[in-house]
Chain A
């Protein structure tokens, strides 16, 4: 067994310095399209090219609805005038405004947040990115985030996938079984809008149709750092991004 210990020590620390410092390694995020402030005629045609209707025109600008973007790259590849690209990862945003009656979790759970993950029909890529959270490069234990397999101990419910018809009841039961105060975080485009699957006879149009969502993390799949940003946002240790490029759902400026 001692050679395993030695191997571990030899490997050294691989963990990202985010959120302390920005992670600059290449390949940590696929990025998202930003839209275009002053689009030419060609860029307007991208609106019909988008398979999930995530791109729309508002005034002179082309906006991207991140809840619908599925990272298909059809607005940047094989086109004359590509959309601008955001290669960051701090994408998580609040899905509802805090009315002051329910405190956000930061005071109580800021450095001890227990997470229950439920698969609502995710394709596996979101789950694979979530798995990275417990692995050396991201290691969320250092941030005071812990995974728990039971709703009874969970403070926040993470859901990926469009919510398949067969998972409606289990997810409702898991949510009901969590003690208050509790939060819900939707991971990935499927969980935010149904993605390419819902609404249909077999899938819902995202988590929000079933239970209230507090934090949304866009991406297909959201990279691990984006999910960490979402968790930090849930305990108010980071500020929110916007779910629509060039502005936010509740009118805040994009940070």
Chain B
């Protein structure tokens, strides 16, 4: 299945197309300046319209945003393609709270619907598997923390758990059993639970159970000031703090119509790429670690720590906390310092490239990665996977190119893409992207304009906007709505790990037990980011 970037329909022709197909059921409003197309859609054709965009026109699914208004739930299905977004709006009354499920046609929306069912109590008609997703068995049915009446400030009193409760088992064969892994396992693993359905040596399928790290970020953000929510955006996933805070800041800037100074935009690109580089080096180290190649793990780890130290020496923080703020960045830097940093990074990249050449020639290493954890192009497209994982399966889509932000349209870079979709393809994408990040860092460092790094102070106005960024793990979308007093009313985060964990089971099917850590490492996803 080919998913070309320049699809048959351009955004400006979309109203005509839609009006031709569904003249009465869909209202279309085009905002060509912002590349935004709003569609109000009736329940009877919701599924068809979404499927038309996703399957026929090659739009990617970004997020499902549920917002509670006075007597209604407002659902916003966000799709995007090159330089354009489509928001499909659908309203349902609170008393009914039922909506047709789109996930059997737009499979990328599957987990979004499950999440909305759990947290808002919406019923998605036709969805095969609702319940037991974000909230685990301790939570009574009918408790929906994202609803307006729910008090987030104090612990919720749980029900008694039925000791005989077991997760659903799919494989029914003689001798079949479930091998549980987690939530506490391995050395420094994040809390997550995997049920490996097996008949012995081979694992037939994997059922992940997540949200052990659910901190209710979206709920506790409500009622906080934008500068307080910024801390949540930065700290719900510390290893991609800069990308997430950037997406959040861009949403707030869009709401308040604040122009970010050019120097601040350039600095944001600089540090976003520095974060991506550090993240990818760290992922490469864990892939080497998963195959027990000790020297390679150490070599990558040395580069990682050197990058962490560089970040800290220049910005004051090893993970770039406290740098982004709505309106720009909180610090200015001497151009010479940034130039030196770019040169040092180039030197570190040389070491990384040496490592890549050595790994390429280590057959015992390649044997562990090749043809392991394969995700096909068709599956990756239907699950709407993002980031390096999607690009290793042949989906050449990157928000820096598709919906350029913060001045990425002026930067030259290529988007590395591989076709095999196996562990080795994902490793190669990581190496190539690290190389591109180094190139971008050098470009930005040599062409920095002078000027302020932050806009004049401003009040956050009421409104709503979508902010996005290509985080190290893939596309992240932050939907922010602010109220009359400038406080956040609704904050919806769609992080890349959430999108990609959905497709993890594709790679973790029919494999031998010893490949599990390798599949995990080549996916390189974060539960903190996914669970929020």
Contacts and interface: CB of A to CB of B under 8 A. Distances in A.
Interface of A: 1, 3-5, 7-8, 11, 14, 25-31, 51, 70-74, 77-78, 117-132, 134-137, 147, 149, 151, 161-162, 164-167, 170, 174, 195-204, 220-221, 223
Q: List the 3 closest pairs (A to B, CB-CB), nearest first.
A: A125-B238, A27-B309, A202-B216
Interface string B184-222: 111111110000000000000000000111111101100
B302 interface: yes
B284 to A, nearest CB: 13
B149 interface: no
Contacts of A30: 312, 316-318, 321
30 contacts: A1-B364, A4-B296, A4-B362, A5-B295, A8-B295, A27-B312, A28-B309, A51-B228, A71-B317, A73-B321, A73-B322, A119-B188, A123-B237, A124-B239, A125-B318, A128-B238, A128-B319, A129-B318, A132-B305, A136-B302, A164-B213, A196-B228, A197-B232, A200-B152, A200-B153, A201-B145, A201-B216, A202-B152, A202-B220, A220-B235
Given A200-B152, A202-B214, A4 B293 contact: yes
Interface string B224-238: 000110011001111
Interface string B293-324: 10111110110110011111100111101100
Contact of A119 (B155, B191, B298): B191
Nearest to A139: B298
A196 to B, nearest CB: 5
Contacts of B358: 3-4, 7
Contacts of A73: 316-317, 321-322, 330
B191 A203 contact: no
Nearest to A115: B187
A8 B235 CA distance: 35
Given A28-B309, A137-B302, A203 B216 contact: yes
Indicate the member of B187, B189, B296 with the most A CB atoms within 10 Å.
B187
Interface string B444-469: 00000000000000000000000000
Interface residues of B, number: 72
Contacts of A204: 155
A135 to B, nearest CB: 4
A70 B301 contact: no
A11 B309 contact: no
A160 to B, nearest CB: 10
B407 interface: no
A67 B186 CA distance: 28
Contacts of B360: none
Indicate the member of A7, A30, A123, A135 with the most B CB atoms within 10 Å.
A123
